């Protein structure tokens, strides 16, 4: 079997340093990027360097980070904010947790640099409440950085001030959506806002706000220290740098890995993940979360980068790779996913509130052998109209994996409907 090495940019310190020791972080070049921007670069230089690096957001949508920072930097306001999106509510996803537990200072340093570049002096880390160890380590990192004069007033005597606070989420998936997250920090119900206006100009408390994912921010210090050209040499056109993924499901090795963009998915699953558990055959991979995509064994050689994945209607999404072996039933998987979305829909808009409920009811019926052939058409039409009409990303992406399963595993759906039979004996089809 081919052995694939990791390429660690974001995870450079994870497992090497004590994440609770600021001295160890500093001994491994930590806060040298902050020192460099403060002493040698103007805020405009920093924005330009991040733009030149072609870094794209790692929270799912892949928006160019430098452009986002530029919008906020140019916005005229007495107050601006930086938010680190550490909600990580997507089922089967824990790559940000790996970064927060393993190297919390790299995230803080990324936030500080974002603050300097855009003129923000206040940051929030919005983190899911279940992540107790990440919260503890981030809080220790904040306290230690303050003690060292790296956070707070007049950082390193530069005149630049920046402070960071942690806000814990109460377990709503939709609070990972950037505007619902801001509503939540403001103490309101976690429901999405209408966009535009977008957060870089109208964000937290209506002020210009950069919101970035944990992994996006942890990429910033190495980009500043090594330069945009170094970063652009990693990965491929349209997807520069590396990507952190977590592996789970029916796979021999589970955990967090980092690969250069462009690495085939098969290398990640078969080499890093050491293949499907118990020598079973691969049925599919749920890539990028349950709002992501469903990859078949025939598509497994696809390079993992934004453009190659887009060709098969996929993307890196939340950064999770969930392997399903041959004993998994696609209808049962779709039913679980539909159940999740029905539960997490915030109810603000009708297409999502009613659509997720209806999807679940239909799939549940099919899984019990009570489906009709026209249910497949209904699911497809319903899913497509949700994608077009739902108010936010939750309802727009909830049908993704379900619709792909209808296309790619149609026979399995039809067995449940026509023959009242679950081919892998998972569903209780009476
Ligand atoms: C329902 C929903 C949940 C989301 N959850 C997360 C999340 O947990 N973490 C995250 O970084 N982005 C999440 N996002 C994406 C954010 O809205 C936003 O695009 C991201 O924080 C931007 O950061 P980036 O540019 O660094 O990727 C979610 C989006 C939607 C629609």
List pLDDT tens digits, range 371-428.
999 999 999 999 999 999 999 999 999 999 999 999 999 999 999 999 999 999 999 9
Our answer on whether the CB atom of 148 is closer than 6 Å to any ligand 1 atom is no
- Output the average pLDDT for the chain: 97
Our answer on whether the CB atom of 203 is closer than 6 Å to any ligand 1 atom is no
Q: pLDDT by residue (tens digit) across 17-31? A: 999 999 999 999 999
Closest CA to ligand 1's atom 31: 393
Our answer on whether the CB atom of 334 is closer than 6 Å to any ligand 1 atom is no
Q: Spell out the domain ranges in the chain.
A: 22-232, 235-325, 330-418
Our answer on whether the CB atom of 356 is closer than 6 Å to any ligand 1 atom is no
Tokens for 137? 């380590």
Span from the CA of 375 to the centroid of ligand 1 (angstroms): 32
Report the atom number in ligand 1 closest to the C-alpha of 93.
8
The lowest-confidence range among 3-12, 218-227, 261-270 is 3-12
Please give the pLDDT value at position 63. Answer: 98
Fold identical between 22-232 and 330-418?
A: no
Helix (H, G, I), strand (E, B), or coil: what is residue 260?
Answer: strand
Whether residue 3 is predicted with pLDDT greater than 80 in this model: the reply is no
Is residue 122 a contact partner of residue 79, using CB atoms and an 8 Å limit?
yes
Our answer on whether the CB atom of 394 is closer than 6 Å to any ligand 1 atom is yes
Superfamily of domain 22-232: NADH-ubiquinone oxidoreductase 51kDa subunit (3.40.50.11540)
State the CATH architecture for 330-418: Up-down Bundle (1.20)
Please give the pLDDT value at position 4. Answer: 76
Please give the pLDDT value at position 2. Answer: 66
Closest CA to ligand 1's atom 6: 176
Whether residue 358 is predicted with pLDDT greater than 90 in this model: the reply is yes
Contacts of 58 (CB under 8 A, 6+ apart): 213, 214, 215, 216, 219, 243, 244, 316, 319
Closest CA to ligand 1's atom 13: 176
Report the atom number in ligand 1 closest to the C-alpha of 59.
27
Span from the CA of 86 to the centroid of ligand 1 (angstroms): 9
Q: pLDDT by residue (tens digit) across 286-324? A: 999 999 999 999 999 999 999 999 999 999 999 999 999
CATH code matching the domain that covers 235-325, chosen among 3.10.20.600, 3.90.1570.10, 3.30.465.10, 1.10.3210.10: 3.10.20.600
Q: Verify cis geometry, omega within 30 degrees of 0, for the bond prior to 347.
A: no
Query: What is the spatial distance between Cα 422 and Cα 321, in angstroms, rounded to a whole number?
Result: 25
Report the atom number in ligand 1 closest to the C-alpha of 58.
27
């Amino acid at each position: 079997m081919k052995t694939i090495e990791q390429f660690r940019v974001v995870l450079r310190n994870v497992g090497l340093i004590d994440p609770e020791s600021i001295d160890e972080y500093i001994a491994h070049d930590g806060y040298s990027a902050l020192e460099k921007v403060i002493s040698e670069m103007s805020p405009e230089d920093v924005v330009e360097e991040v733009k030149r690096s072609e870094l794209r957001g790692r929270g799912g949508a892949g928006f160019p980070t430098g452009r986002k920072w530029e919008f906020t930097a140019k916005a005229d306001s007495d107050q601006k904010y930086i938010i680190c999106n550490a909600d990580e509510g997507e089922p089967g996803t824990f790559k940000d947790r790996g970064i927060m537990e393993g190297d919390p200072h790299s995230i803080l340093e990324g936030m500080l640099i974002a603050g300097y570049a855009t003129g923000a002096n206040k940051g929030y880390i919005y983190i899911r409440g279940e992540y107790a160890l990440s919260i503890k380590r981030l809080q220790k990192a904040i306290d230690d950085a303050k003690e060292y004069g790296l956070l707070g007033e007049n950082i390193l005597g530069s005149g630049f001030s920046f402070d960071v606070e942690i806000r814990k989420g109460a377990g709503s998936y939709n609070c990972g959506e950037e505007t619902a997250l801001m509503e939540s920090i403001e103490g309101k119900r976690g429901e999405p806002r209408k966009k535009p206006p977008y957060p870089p100009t109208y964000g937290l408390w209506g002020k210009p706000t950069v919101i970035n994912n944990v992994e996006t921010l942890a990429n910033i210090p190495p980009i500043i220290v090594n330069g945009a050209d170094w970063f652009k040499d990693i990965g491929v056109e349209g997807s520069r740098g590396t990507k952190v993924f977590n592996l789970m499901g029916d796979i021999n090795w589970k955990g967090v890995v980092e690969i250069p963009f462009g690495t085939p998915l098969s290398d990640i699953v078969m080499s890093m993940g050491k293949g499907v558990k118990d020598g079973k055959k691969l049925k599919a991979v749920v890539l990028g979360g349950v709002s992501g995509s469903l990859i078949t064994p025939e598509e497994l050689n696809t390079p993992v980068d934004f453009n190659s994945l887009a060709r098969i209607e996929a993307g890196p999404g939340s950064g999770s790779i969930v392997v399903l072996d041959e004993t998994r039933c696609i209808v049962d998987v779709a039913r679980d996913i539909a159940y999740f979305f029905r539960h997490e829909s915030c109810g603000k808009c009708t297409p999502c509130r009613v659509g997720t409920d209806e999807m679940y009811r239909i799939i549940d019926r099919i899984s019990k052998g009570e489906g009709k052939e026209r249910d497949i058409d209904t699911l497809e039409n319903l899913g497509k109209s949700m994608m077009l009409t739902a108010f936010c990303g939750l309802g727009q992406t909830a049908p993704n994996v379900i619709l792909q399963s209808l296309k790619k595993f149609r026979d399995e759906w039809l067995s449940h409907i026509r023959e009242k039979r679950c081919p892998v004996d998972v569903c209780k089809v009476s």
